[in-house]
């Protein structure tokens, strides 16, 4: 098959996405596919009189590589590189039309909020992962939590602020977690214990968007559960060596201890996997996703933190580790994700 791996994009998570996309592209090349890694935001120049099909790489060609920096990208500087002011770069859709399928390796922003999926659906282009509807429901943390609460799935108490019309609050129930409503990879998230920290946290979150979530802090063990084709994979426990599971701890090698399969009782494992499958169903997610939880230390209740429609596929990412624990190696996982993608036009 001819496959475009769509990564990068205009998002604070673009570096993570480019790392995921490189690994995915190399895997698909090893499996015998013709592959082209495309930055959804920057696009690709196609020289005059060049056949676009010649841009696709095959096994034996140079492999793709990308190392994630320790800090999130400068979004203002990136904005200056936009192609005609568009979120979709030059020749991106042209190349997607040349492919048999688009492997979605985007993270955050238009890659996970449904915008890119809606464009591909409108263009009748086949792609992996969730439809634009599932992405909309999962990316907005306020909508996610309302749906989970309605279905009886535990999630921490929260309030939502729209800073376009709501003033910054001077206080909030402490301790709490402040986060942008629609970012992933822990971008813009702060753990708050004092009113002074609250103001700094709100200003930090506001850098990324005006809709902000203030959530009651739940203390306990943190877990993540991948769901593949409707079935939960073995849970993984996440133990940062310092601080919490923030951007740096997620993507820098050695910063976090990850135990897979997680050390749980049989009842806990069954409960956690059941909840992950339920979250995937409630949010109408696609063939694969990853759901994050905290096991509250006094109540013994699994609280859902969020759903990830396009989980990271970097060397340190959780979903590949969980798949491996289930006997699914990385190349097999990538092939399964491609095979599970619905035909174009079935939205």
Contacts of 169 (CB under 8 A, 6+ apart): 161, 198, 202, 214
Q: Kindly report the CATH number that applies to the domain delimited by 138-155+218-327.
A: 3.30.470.20
Residue 29 is predicted with a pLDDT of 98
Residue 101 is predicted with a pLDDT of 98
CA distance 333 to 330: 5
Q: Please, are residues 12 and 75 in contact by the beta-carbon 8 Å criterion?
A: yes
**Range 2-127: architecture per CATH:** 3-Layer(aba) Sandwich (3.40)
The answer to whether the predicted template modeling score (pTM) of the entire model surpasses 0.75 is yes
| Digitized pLDDT (tens) for each residue of the chain, 347 residues in all | 999 999 999 988 899 899 999 999 999 999 999 999 999 999 999 998 899 999 999 999 999 999 888 887 888 999 999 999 999 999 999 999 999 999 999 998 899 999 999 999 999 999 999 999 999 999 999 999 999 999 999 999 999 999 888 877 777 889 999 999 887 556 788 999 988 899 899 888 888 888 999 999 999 999 999 999 999 999 999 998 755 444 444 445 556 899 999 999 999 999 999 999 999 999 999 999 999 999 998 989 999 999 999 998 886 789 999 999 999 999 999 999 999 999 987 65
Residue 245 is predicted with a pLDDT of 45
Residue 346 is predicted with a pLDDT of 60
Ordered by start, the domain boundaries in the chain are 2-127, 138-155+218-327, 158-216
CA distance 107 to 184: 7
Strands in 190-192's sheet, in edge-to-edge order, are: 158-162, 211-216, 176-180, 190-192
CATH class entry, domain 158-216: alpha beta
Residues identified as active-site: 13, 185, 251, 290, 292, 306, 308, 312
Residue 347 is predicted with a pLDDT of 54
């Amino acid at each position: 098959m001819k496959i475009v791996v769509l990564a990068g994009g205009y998002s604070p998570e673009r570096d993570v996405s480019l790392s995921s996309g490189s690994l995915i592209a190399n895997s698909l090349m090893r499996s015998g596919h013709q592959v082209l890694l495309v930055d959804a935001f920057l696009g690709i120049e196609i020289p005059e009189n060049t056949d676009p099909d010649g841009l696709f790489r095959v096994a034996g060609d140079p492999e793709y590589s990308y190392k994630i920096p320790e800090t999130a990208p400068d979004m203002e500087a990136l904005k200056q590189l936009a192609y005609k002011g568009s979120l979709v770069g030059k020749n991106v859709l042209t190349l997607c039309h040349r492919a048999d399928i688009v492997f979605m390796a985007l993270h955050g922003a238009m890659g996970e909020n449904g915008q890119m999926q809606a464009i591909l659906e409108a263009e009748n282009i086949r792609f992996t992962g969730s439809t634009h509807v599932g992405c909309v429901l999962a990316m907005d943390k306020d909508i996610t939590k309302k749906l989970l609460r309605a279905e009886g799935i535990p999630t921490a108490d929260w309030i939502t602020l729209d800073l376009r019309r709501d003033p910054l609050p001077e206080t909030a129930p402490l301790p709490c977690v402040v986060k942008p409503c629609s970012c992933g990879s822990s971008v813009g998230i702060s753990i708050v214990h004092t009113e002074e920290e609250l103001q700094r946290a709100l200003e930090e979150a506001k850098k990324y968007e005006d809709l902000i979530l203030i959530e009651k802090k739940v203390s306990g063990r943190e877990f993540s559960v991948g769901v593949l084709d409707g079935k939960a994979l073995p849970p993984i426990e996440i133990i940062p060596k310092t601080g919490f599971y923030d951007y740096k701890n997620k993507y820098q090698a050695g910063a976090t201890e990850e135990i897979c399969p997680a050390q749980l009782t049989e009842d806990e494992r069954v409960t956690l996997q059941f909840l992950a499958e339920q979250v995937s169903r409630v949010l109408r997610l696609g063939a694969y996703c990853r759901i994050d939880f905290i096991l509250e230390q006094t109540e013994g209740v699994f609280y859902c933190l969020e759903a990830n429609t396009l989980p990271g596929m970097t060397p340190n990412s959780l979903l590949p580790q969980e798949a491996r624990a289930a006997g699914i190696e990385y190349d097999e996982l990538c092939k399964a994700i491609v095979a599970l993608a619905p035909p174009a036009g079935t939205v």
